Amino acid sequence: MGSLDLRKVVSLLFIIAIAVVFTVQFGPGSNGFSDVNPSAAPAAAAVVNGKEIPINEFRREYAGQLQYLRQQGQPITEAVARQFGLPQTVLDRLVNTELLAQAAARQGLRASDEEILRILQRSPDFQKDGQFDYATYQQVLRDYFRQSPADYEEDLRKRLSAQKLLGVVQAGVVISDDEVRTRFAKEGNQARVVFARFLPSMYADKVPAPTPADLTAFKQAQEKAIKEYYEANRFVYQQPERIHARQILLKLSPDATPEQKAQVLARAQALRQELEGGKDFTEVASTSSEDPGTKASGGDLGWVERGNWEPALANAAFALEPGKLTQPIETKYGIHLVKVEEKKPAQDKKLEEVQDEIATTLYKKEKAKELARAEADKALATVKGGQTLAALFPPEKEGQPALLRFEQETRPEAVQTDTFNAASPNVPHLGPAPELLTAVFATQGPSVLDQVYPVGDGFVVAQVTERQLPDDAKFAEKRDELRQQAQQAKQYEVADSFIKALKKSGKVETNPAALDQVAGG
């Protein structure tokens, strides 16, 4: 990861995050309009006012976003994508699209046939020799989207209608001169900061396990916290039977003839014979599978619950022992070969069974947090005495802090931010820290911030290394640019507020297990 351009990755992920608010994606199946079957709920990434967003749709969208980032020249791994919250961002965007589409339908907003046609004609997926080609269009829908032209166009119409609704919501935004000047005052108010984080995880190995007496006392004092932890993490203690599986999918057209079906089945049987003969499943899946969502990862499906799959496929796979392979199984997606890597039995642990385990976890976390705070206080006193954070906490290796290498921090390290302004909601590389931001922009020049700031689970000590105050002489030359920026920012805010109102008045249920299944834990 040493060659990864941090600033560009952050910028690209920020663009994707902003798209949650104001962009309706026109990718495959991103509308999720289908009736919910309660027994099939585990197969849904989310359910929006009774409409299901299938896991396969979320998987396809998530894979597309990773591919987009990689096409920008960034060797971003799935671990880094999870660190930045990309899976949740993608799911939020799908949910927002569904909410907007439903609201547009209630308002009677509907995209025209001409608008649909323009979108189709511009899509490179449906072109041949630079021109829209109906035969290519049909083939792509059949082989990749698994939709008929009528269904695809109706979904597209709904998404375009959702975009129309956003346009109506944002059309009335007006920016005053005072708002433009306020924006200038914030953007011209700039700083750079060096900070060091003191996280409980850095001190966890210094906390001994509680003695029996300590544990008893802690359980008595923290009975409510232990119960709340159990309830919040009930999915850990109460889980259905699961398998870690890989698959090879050979696509089969819904209208395939018996002869065509026999040919695909014969190919599947031949691949199975190769696997039984000792060929590596990951290698065969990477070269022969026709599932774009898992092909690159050697067919890896992650951890799967029985309800995620059609009964025929689930029954065959869940009957196997680890290391075994199913016979070819036909579903609406094609012919599957599934290998079971691992199995986890169903479990249902009661609070009484795990309360000592939970109490020990919370006890050690509390003590580690106390140690982190004490070390932060000590560091602040040293910095106030004339030392610098950079000298006290140099990077452990490679001349760059672990935080900027996307690695876990094992000790405090000084991190130098880029220049940021008072309009920023975050401290670069640190994230939301409102009290710290307020303190930074209350300074008039370089200085040590005079307290330790709680940020997330840990604590932060910071020094302002550069300050720049607004220059009113530049206001006139930047007025028009600032007005346009303020207009756009307010449109984002209005759209965000509108979507939040739709969520509040409706019912949105998301499935965290879907994110783990697709993007890893």
The percent of residues above 70 in pLDDT, for the chain, comes to 89
pLDDT digits (tens, 9 = 90+) for 343-378: 988 888 888 888 999 999 999 999 999 999 999 999
pLDDT for residue 40 is more than 50: no
Q: What is the DSSP string of 140-165?
A: HIIIII---HHHHHHHHHHHHHHHHH
pLDDT digits (tens, 9 = 90+) for 52-91: 888 877 887 888 788 877 777 666 777 777 777 888 888 9
pLDDT for residue 30 is more than 50: no
The position carrying tokens 């072109």 is: 127
Exposure of 28 in the CB half-sphere (CA atoms within 13 A): 25
Q: What is the DSSP string of 490-502?
A: HHHHHHHHHHHHH
Give the whole-angstrom CA distance, residue 328 versus residue 334.
10
Give backbone dihedrals phi and psi of 460, rounded to 5 degrees, phi first. Answer: -130, 135
Q: Which residues pair with 421 in a beta bridge?
A: 190
Range among 78-87, 89-98, 123-132, 263-272 rated most confident: 263-272
pLDDT for residue 111 is more than 90: no
3-state secondary structure 456-489: CCEEEEEEEEEEECCCHHHHHHHHHHHHHHHHHH
Q: Report the run of H or E that residue 322 belongs to, with start and end.
A: none
Q: What is the mean pLDDT of the chain?
A: 84
Task: Report pLDDT for 33.
Answer: 29
Q: From the DSSP assignment, how many helices (H) and strands (E) are in the chain?
A: 19, 19
Check: pTM over 0.75? Answer yes or no.
Answer: no
Least confidently predicted of 233-237, 249-253, 298-302, 379-383: 233-237
Q: What are the Cα distances from residue 264, in Å, to 151, 175, 460?
A: 26, 61, 60
